[in-house]
Chain A
Amino acid sequence: MAADQRRPGIMRQMRGAMMKYMPLMITCVEFETFILDYLEGSLPPRQRRIFELHLKMCRECRDYLAAYKATMGVAKRALKDPSDGPPDDAPEDLVKAVLAARER
């Protein structure tokens, strides 16, 4: 990332300060630490409200979370297609090999 992207303009500086210092607000960095618990439904009610308030106010975090959730969906579908059905039966030669090794 270019260094100038890390140096925010005045509007972003003001927004960052507002998120940092105003009651019931969190910064995007703090928001990041809550994502996993939010998606698992394990955030306490107050933190959940604060998280959702940030989500309403921050376009970047809203977009990020949507893409994060889409990523989870794509990974799941790619690795475990719902149309795949249950796994095949156990191959007989492998079952026999496992049981024979146990007896040794």
Chain B
Amino acid sequence: MTDEELIEGLKAGDDQAAETVVRTHMPRMLAVARRLLGDSALAEDCVQEAFANMFRKIGDFEGRSSLGTWLYGIVANQALMKLRQQTRRREDPIDDLMPEFDTSACRIEAPWQHLSTPEEILDREKRKDLVIDMINKLPPDYRVVLQLRDIEEMSTAEVADALNLTDGNVKVRLHRARSALKSLLEPVLRGEL
């Protein structure tokens, strides 16, 4: 069945269409939720809630993105809500991790004598865990944008649609998330860790 046929089926309450959509999209939705939440049980709850939302809201689906992209957006939103519940800090700790400039608007950046490649950095399991810990230090609203754009490879417009943001907001959050992560990963990238 095509996306259009599945959507029509869902809107008409067709059981076959519902099962096809669930079986087709659940694996990647689970992968998205696991990457964001880092916990399989929480990810399964999240996917279940996302499908419940999807069945409720299918009448509102306008077809601006593919059905899959819409679903990955719903699950990312569910995960974001869970992450926000977990992190109740009100301050914005990302500010200290932004690039620095002097009063002449020149960048302050120590020379990079050594810049490890992703392959060199991730050659050992512990390093991968360390990198994931650093990613998890990003505030949820930034982490979700980084993941949807850079890992799930959704477009800026798709992420904006999924998270109810403007394209401009998505770009700002993505750039801040990458900049903050660069600061967090600096000792690893310089080969100091």
Q: Which A positions have Cβ atoms within 8 angstroms of B?
A: 1, 5-8, 12-13, 15-17, 19-20, 27-32, 35-37, 40, 58-61, 63-64, 66-68, 70-81, 86-91, 94-95, 97-99, 101-102
Are B178 and A12 within 8 A (Cβ)?
Answer: no
| Chain B residues touching A, range | 35 or more
Q: Which B positions have Cβ atoms within 8 angstroms of A?
A: 15, 18-19, 22-23, 26-28, 30-31, 35, 44, 47-48, 51-52, 55, 99-109, 111-112, 115-119, 121-122, 128, 131-132, 135, 146-147, 150-151, 156, 171, 174-175, 178-179, 181-182, 185-186, 188-189
Residues A90 and B106 in contact in the complex (CB < 8 Å), given A35-B175, A71-B181, A74-B122:
no
Separation of A30 and B105 alpha carbons in the complex (Å) = 8
Q: Across the interface, which residues of B come within 8 angstroms of A101, CB to CB?
A: 48, 51-52
Q: Which of A5, A16, A91, A98 has the most CB of B within 10 A?
A: A98
Are A73 and B104 within 8 A (Cβ)?
Answer: no
| Inter-chain pairs besides A58-B106, A63-B109, A63-B112, 12 sampled, C-beta below 8 Å | A6-B108, A7-B103, A8-B106, A19-B106, A36-B174, A68-B178, A74-B188, A75-B151, A78-B131, A87-B27, A90-B23, A99-B18
Instruction: Name A's interface SS.
Output: helix
A-B contact count (CB 8 A): 166
Separation of A89 and B29 alpha carbons in the complex (Å) = 11
Which 9 residue pairs across A and B have the least CB separation, nearest first?
A16-B104, A90-B26, A27-B105, A28-B107, A87-B27, A60-B107, A60-B109, A78-B131, A87-B31
